[in-house]
Chain A
């Protein structure tokens, strides 16, 4: 009686041990820095082979999405490489233009208006023109002429190119083409004997990074452009007016100023704004968006199918252990959290693999001069996508855990 009364201990320690009286048996200490036992992480590490399939599934579906985005962005960026590589602070754009390549003529007096602004230190014109290229071997290609100021300090001429190429364009009839297009244009071995719209021109050099989606980009000077266009170009109306601003001036403020005096004639845009507008236009207009969405959903489904099966198998394998924890009073939501934490780690590790693989694929594409481009938001979106794949998988994998009663498993 008294024995029992005494020994029902209100303190819930393991009552038979006098702590500290002898620490010979309690020699082991918690591993340094290990505050908590994490079932999720320790299982992932210990049984990593089991989870590898899930990590790879997440990684591949992420890769699918990210490489597609890179190709699409690369494709659409080709539309605006000229804008992004030029040195202008502001671009005057005809108000109804929705993408750089779909240029319209500005009113002739726009350039004077812009030049009158005290912060503007230089203006230039830039024209785009569709033309018919005829190579030395008789090949015919539809090309886009990019006509720009080739004088010293040119704003339009790509900053990435050496000025020797700019000077080469000063020769009458000289043109520059992209390295990736020389075969298509029939000038791989010869640079003479080319005609554009029936006028004789000469390939004075090649550039890199200006490959177009279809056709080819051809850089020419304004004089050569007028020569090729003849009467059609004489109206003196530029497609774009480029402006350089005095150092330290905020382009946004000048753009607002210019806008207030010429809103009906042009829009003043920073290169970034013009590039974003053009890429967005193509993303939405081209129909590729729908195709991309389709394959992304496909990637999501495949990723979830494999990942959820892997996680489910892991949950099933530990169902009795989970049931024992339930019996010991661990709430169901805590076990749910374990599975979801595992899913989140798989998503995170999967995304790291995606990032590495994407870097390799993009590197290879760049070597092969395939137009690819990535933005931070595309990478962020893919990271979210990977998390989505794994968390949805985790939720799917929870089903057996939620369905079983501990009593059924522990008989």
Chain B
């Protein structure tokens, strides 16, 4: 089975978000970047497990500038066979999806993470599926293959749905799909020699642009309530906060 895992690069999870003076962008100084956790922990690892069980290949795909190569190499160190980087700056979700779709023909499964932890869009996987005219299952927490038929459990509000679908398909991975793998020394050494091909983007217009950012308002100081007096907390929640 030929598998493609689309990965994105996001600020590390402990990042304190700060904005530039005109609020048009994040203040990127000092931000550490990682592979988007859903892409790394769940999508990539499940693809590798499927390859280990049934053969095939796992290719990593990233749309981004040369700085992203470190994230791609990490994916290769975890175990992917090779990688493609579409050499482009971010142009918005549909732009990215069109770049991915231009590379994704011929794969049996195209994996995504359920969302990026920066933009929280949850839309690129579905876009690629539509562009390729293949089935899409979002927020999948289990995926088993039997021949070319996948049985997939997807998270729904307060429960799960189990579906059956044939390849080719696109899927976005949520918690439960696999367990995080830490690359070992051998993987890191091998990753340096694995092929990473850089291709140029196709033309596609931006359909959205982030005009500005805003930080949430600061919380005022916490009001402490005596642990012996929970009637008082209930009164505050009812009369002051008006939430119960």
A and B associate: no
